Amino acid sequence: MEEAAISTSTSSDTVAEPAVELEGITKRFPGVVANRDIRLSVRRGQVHAIVGENGAGKSTLMKILYGMQRPDGGEIRVNGAPVGFRTPGDAIAAGIGMVHQHFMLADNLTVLENIILGSEPRRRGIGIDFGAARRKIKEISDAYGLGVGPDTLVQDLGVGARQRVEILKVLYRGARILILDEPTAVLVPQEVDELFDNLRGLVRQGLTIIFISHKLDEVLSVADAITVIRRGTTVASVDPKDVTARQLAELMVGSELPSPETRESTVTADVALAVRNLTVRGAEGRAVVEDVSFDIHKGEVLGIAGVEGNGQAELVEAIMGMRPADGVITLGDADVSGWSTLRRREGGIGYIPEDRQRHGLLLEAPLWENRILGHQTRKPNVKGPWIDRTGARADTRRIIEEYDVRTPGIDVDAAALSGGNQQKLIVGREMSGDPVVLIASHPTRGVDVGAQAAIWDHLRAARAAGLAVLLISADLDELIGLSDSLKVILRGRMVADVDPSDVTPERLGSAMTGAGEEA
Amino acid sequence: MSSSFTDRLLGRVRLGGLLGLAAPLLAIVFAGLVTSIILQLTGNPPFETMKLLADYGAQPRTIVMIINLATTYYISALAVAIGFRMNLFNIGVDGQYRLAALVAAAVGGALVLPAPLHVGVTILVAVAVGGLWASIAGLLKVTRGVSEVISTIMLNAIATGFGAWLLTTDRLAVAVSGSNNIGTKPIPPSGQFPGFGLIPGTQAKVFGFVVVAALLGLAYHILFNWTRFGFDLRATGKSESAAVASGVNVRKMVLLTMVLSGAAAGLVGMPQLLGASYSYSLDFPTGLGFTGIAIALLGRNNPVGIAIGALLWSFLDNSSDILDLEGIPKEIVIIMQGTIVLSVIVAYELVHRYRLAAEQRRVSRELSAGASAPEGVAA
Ligand SMILES: Nc1ncnc2c1ncn2[C@@H]1O[C@H](COP(=O)(O)OP(=O)(O)OP(=O)(O)O)[C@@H](O)[C@H]1O
Ligand SMILES: [Mg+2]
């Protein structure tokens, strides 16, 4: 605590009383202290950022403020008055809204239904007044440029759109204090800018925003105040004007900012994965991926740049065999177009899904069983038709070691891991067993700067050993830094090839929106 | 997010060590209490009534009957539990076993084969019929998206009608001599499953099928905990989307699980058929499938838990006979059974919360002892 370089007192000169004050918050989980004596003061009409490494206790603290979890000790004051929320309902009533790190939407309901769920407008006390709800949603959506169609099924939305629905839902309920837990993890820069514009608009109207992110540049550009949490406790409160991203990283983890640079090429002449004329149709028969072709060679990282929702998710699911598609996919010499997901995985395709909790984990199963998931026909997890517990458990320990997954043990459920640590576990798992091709959607989503560097190192090492990677990422620095070649996807089509050694994030960003199709 | 209530209800969240034992004990104590109150209110002395049940239940002959009925319950609950592990609610165990027993009885009665083969073929027929009948519900779910709850309930009704149609003297039945009952042609001795005199002090024999039931429980345990297939099945039950991404063919799993559950259901009627009645007649026991649902819940889909649940249920069923003789309504036992199921659900919930609180206290104790040693991430 004393080691904090730039430490100031938690409350600065208070003109108005703070919107939120947390004092001495402590929360324990089996085997872990998530929060210990946390102090935090958030002024009204500010964007207050909270940063800290994976598992530092950020989400837990926010869940406490939102009434989802009860603290073991400490006091919460909202607008000066002490509160004791028992449920999120209490927090909502006090004007607090939260957008979670992991989506909390019901897949099989529409956007409208999801938004009004739990606070349905009533017509004469009985029937649900859908008309009123629709109007109000449209109003908010237009006011903040959130552009989401109220009648789309949530399961048909990409992660970016889901994020906006989550925010809309919170605004709809009239929140004056907004908690955003890693809202930008899967957004590309333009979307982030848009979101920040929205946030500034909200702040001007007197709303208060608490914002968690691992992207330190973003934090510096949007926040009015920053609190750093390390190992469950507040170690510093800093003014963004006084620090650089590098200093912030050092405060968080005590390490330097990593860079994803990879210049020495390891690309070979052997094609590992070839995709020809791939077309994927959506529910209404419209092509969401259209006539896409590319090769990835051994030792090559092919980056796909694009604004979320332009067909990336469908492309990935088609390659994994989770979604029917026309076209030919060749893995090495084998035409795998007709293969099941299992066979493709056995053939050596690793898969880091964009939504880790939906597609990557069994939340209510221990870590070692999650090690088996997706690899349930291969060593060291199985021997013939039998599960090899010893093998799987030993290998889970290896992953935890190599990928620095912070956990009390391999028998805890995956749900007990912090978001970034869940991600590290998945990356470690998918890099196991020497994959030939890795399909990586946002591989460092939600991991802290230190862990991000470690994952990049692992990817680089595997690439040098001949791994072919299809990389999809909203982090343009990561995309440009890791990729050997880049393609831009727009409305389901590959619209441009870009040389990563000769492009800036700005230029790539405009190519992604279709502004620079000549690139 | 912590575990959901359904996950805890269906035993997909484990409780370790002694706590796993505490919950059911708590439940039984609580159920005993509630029943005592009811007995008191209805003007029957609770303590004496309980003692009556216990004494009668401890008689050698009753013990045999308890074990025999429990064998049947056990298989039925296992069949239900197989589906539960994957979020499939096979309400159709009832129809599956009745149809399976009827056809198997007819085949067994018609065959002439050496002993072990005769028994084997009869059992196989039962398993096949149970599996086939359940596969209809599986197919409907996989191809048409029909909820298995609905389809199995319907199939129960159809099985009843179909069974009645088959069990006529024009088809599979013959008149049972000395009564106006009709049933299938009795299975000759070569097709009967020999029982054994396990309990001293009575002539009554324990069903030989109890061994099969025990083996079935073992197979269930091995299947779910040690095999790839069991892993896929549990994974699908926990998260369908993650299972799909991991390469599990969910449709195939749904169908297979349904067939497996039905195949196990096919065995439910066997202890009775091959060990006691040797014929499927109009008074063949019904409703065993529904009892199975309650016992699967009681045993939380765990093979040992289910065994205890089955024995308890059977004990209550059998010893309730004595109550009638003493002028106490035997329906009191049904109330007891219901209370037990409810209390088990409540007790597990309580023990779960206790465990969480206890572990957090333990962590905080270790913390204050070791000063600031294990911060953030601990051991
Ligand atoms: N439900 C839970 N049960 C047990 N332990 C938990 C639970 N939720 C969180 N933890 C533990 O508490 C600690 C803090 O987790 P938290 O999710 O708050 O981290 P975080 O700062 O949000 O990290 P990230 O940046 O990875 O999202 C972690 O060690 C985590 O394993
Ligand atoms: Mg978090």
Centroid of chain to Cα A255: 22
More confident residue, B269 or A433: B269
Integer Cα distance of B269 and A445 in angstroms: 55
Long-range contacts of residues B35-44, Cβ cutoff 8 Å, at least 24 apart: B35/B332, B35/B335, B35/B336, B35/B339, B38/B332, B38/B335, B39/B328, B39/B332, B42/B329, B42/B332, B44/B328, B44/B332
Q: Do B360 and B378 touch, CB atoms closer than 8 A?
A: no
Cβ atoms A474, A505 nearer than 8 A: no
Q: Using 50, 70 and 90 to split pLDDT, how confident is the model at B196? A: confident
The backbone torsions φ and ψ at residue B217, rounded to the nearest 5 degrees and listed phi first, read -60, -40
Is pLDDT larger for residue B111 or for residue B366? B111
Facing residue for A30 by CB, picked from B232, B247, B359? B359
* Amino acid A304: pLDDT: 94
Each residue's pLDDT, cut to its tens digit, for chain A (519 residues) gives: 333 444 343 444 445 678 899 998 999 887 788 898 899 999 998 999 999 888 889 999 999 999 888 898 889 999 888 998 888 888 888 989 888 877 777 777 888 888 877 666 655 556 666 777 788 778 777 766 666 777 878 877 766 677 778 888 888 888 889 999 888 776 777 778 877 887 888 888 888 999 898 888 888 888 999 999 988 888 888 898 888 888 888 887 765 555 666 567 777 888 889 999 999 998 778 888 989 999 999 999 999 998 877 888 999 999 999 999 899 999 988 999 989 999 999 999 999 998 888 899 998 889 999 999 999 888 888 888 999 999 999 999 999 999 888 888 888 888 888 888 999 999 999 999 889 999 999 998 888 888 888 888 888 888 888 899 999 998 888 898 889 999 999 888 888 888 888 888 888 888 887 764 443
Which pLDDT score is estimated for A260?
A: 60
Ligand having the closest approach to the CA of A450: 1
Please answer whether residues A392 and A400 qualify as being in contact, where contact means their C-beta atoms are separated by less than 8 angstroms: no
B15 or B378, which is more confident?
Answer: B15
Query: Is the CB of residue A439 below 6 angstroms from any atom belonging to ligand 1?
Result: no
Task: List, for residues B218-249, the tens digit of each pLDDT value.
Answer: 999 999 999 999 999 999 988 989 999 999 99
CA A373 – CA A365 distance, rounded (Å): 10
Residue B58 has pLDDT above 80, yes or no: yes
Residue B157, token pair as written in the block? 């009704």
CB B102, CB B268: distance < 8 Å: no
- Note which residues in 345-374 of chain A have CB less than 8 A from chain B: 345-346, 351, 353, 358-365, 369, 372-374
Interface test with B, best of A362, A382, A430 (most B CBs within 10 A): A362
Pick the more confident residue, B169 or A122: B169
DSSP at A258: P
Q: Are strands A233-238 and A271-281 parallel, antiparallel or unpaired?
A: unpaired
User: A31, B359: Cβ pair inside 8 Å?
Assistant: yes
What is residue B323's predicted lDDT score, i.e. its pLDDT? Answer: 84
The domain ranges of chain B are 16-44+330-359, 59-327
pLDDT surpassing 60 at residue B81: yes
Predicted confidence at residue A159, as pLDDT, reads: 67
Residue B73: pLDDT above 90? yes
Query: A420: CA distance to ligand 1 center in Å?
Result: 9
Q: Residue A437: CB within 6 Å of ligand 1? A: no
Radius of gyration of chain A, Cα coordinates, nearest whole angstrom: 23
Task: Dig out the tokens for A254 from the structure.
Answer: 């005590």
CB distance A382 to B244 below 8 Å? no
pLDDT score of B25: 77
**Would you say A152 and A168 are in contact if contact means Cβ atoms under 8 Å apart?**
no
Nearest residue, CB atoms, B12 vs list A344, A364, A373: A364
What lies within 8 Å, CB to CB, of B361 at 6+ separation is: none
Q: Whose CA is nearest to atom 1 of ligand 1?
A: A416
Among A381-390, B23-32, B103-112, the range scoring the smallest mean pLDDT is: B23-32
**Fold agreement (A3-95+176-252, A270-512):** yes
| Run of H or E including A82 | strand A81-83
Partners of A341 on chain B (C-beta within 8 Å) are 244-247
C-beta atoms of B375 and A233 within 8 A:
yes
CB contacts, 8 Å: B352 with chain A: none
Ligand nearest to the CA of A213: 1
Pick the CATH number of B59-327 from 3.30.70, 1.10.3470, 1.10.540, 3.30.420: 1.10.3470
Of A28, A56, A359, the CB nearest to B242: A359
Report pLDDT for A517.
45
User: Which tokens go with A137?
Assistant: 């949603």
Name chain A contacts of B375, Cβ cutoff 8 Å.
Answer: 33, 36, 231-233
How far does residue B80's CA lie from ligand 2's centre (Å)? 39
> What are B318-326's contacts with CB under 8 Å, separation 24+?
B318/B57, B318/B62, B318/B65, B318/B66, B318/B69, B319/B53, B319/B54, B319/B56, B319/B57, B319/B62, B319/B66, B320/B53, B321/B56, B322/B52, B322/B53, B322/B56, B323/B49, B323/B52, B323/B53, B326/B52
pLDDT of residue B357: 67
pLDDT at residue B372, rounded to an integer: 40
CB–CB contact A55 B376 (8 Å): yes
Written as one letter, the residue type at A335 is D
pLDDT at B373: 38
Task: State the smallest CA–CA distance between residue A142 and chain B in angstroms.
Answer: 32
> Is 50 exceeded by the pLDDT of residue B252?
yes
Of A476-480, B73-77, B86-90, B196-200, where does the model show the most confidence? Answer: B73-77
What is the reported pLDDT for A123?
A: 58
Q: What pLDDT is attached to residue A392?
A: 92
- Gap between the Cα atoms of B190 and B270, Å rounded: 15
Strands A177-181 and A96-99: parallel
Facing residue for B363 by CB, picked from A28, A362, A369: A28
- Asked whether the beta carbons of residue B363 and residue A31 sit closer than 8 angstroms, the reply is yes
DSSP A336: -
Nearest to B312 by CA among B54, B21, B6: B54
Joined tokens for residue A200: 């500034």
Length of chain B measured in residues: 379
* Interface confidence (ipTM) of the complex: 0.81
d(CA A27, CA B376): 11
How far A500 CA sits from the closest chain B CA (Å)? 31
Question: What backbone phi and psi angles, to 5 degrees, belong to A2?
Answer: -75, -25
Work out the mean pLDDT of chain B and round it to a whole number. Answer: 85
Q: Give tens-digit pLDDT for B293-327.
A: 989 988 888 899 899 999 999 998 888 888 888 88
Mean of the pLDDT values across residues B20-40?
A: 80
Instruction: Specify the CATH architecture of the domain A3-95+176-252.
Output: 3-Layer(aba) Sandwich (3.40)
CA B232 to ligand 2 center in whole angstroms: 29
Q: What percent of chain B has pLDDT over 90?
A: 44
Q: How many Å apart are CA A388 and CA B67, to the nearest integer?
A: 36
Contact A73/B at CB under 8 A = no
Which positions in chain B have a beta carbon within 8 angstroms of at least one beta carbon in chain A? 1-3, 7, 12-13, 225-232, 234-235, 238-239, 241-242, 244-249, 356, 359-360, 362-364, 367, 374-379
Q: Is A69 in the pocket of ligand 1 (CB under 6 A)?
A: no
The CATH code that applies to domain A270-512 is 3.40.50.300
Q: Taking Cα atoms as reference points, which of B188, B209, B191 lies closest to residue B270?
A: B209
Write the residue with the smallest CA distance to atom 5 of ligand 1.
A416
Q: Which of B7, B364, B367, B377 to mutate to test ligand 1, by most ligand atoms within 8 A of the CB atom?
A: B377
The CB density around residue A437, as the number of other CB atoms within 10 Å, is 22
Record: contact B363-A32, CB cut-off 8 A: yes
- Extended beta strands in A381-517, E state: 382-383, 386-387, 437-441, 468-472, 485-490, 493-498
Contact A320 B7 (CB under 8 A): no
The residue written with tokens 């309990």 in the block is B199
Give the list of residues 6+ apart from residue A420 with CB closer than 8 angstroms, or none.
A53, A54, A55, A214, A446, A447, A448, A451
Interface test with B, best of A363, A370, A430 (most B CBs within 10 A): A363
Q: At what angle do helices A159-172 and A189-204 cross, to 10 degrees?
A: 10
- Sign of the Cα pseudo-torsion (A474, A478, A480, A482, in order): negative
| Domain boundaries defined on chain A | 3-95+176-252, 107-172, 270-512
Please state, in angstroms and rounded to a whole number, the distance separating the CA atoms of residues A416 and A412. 7
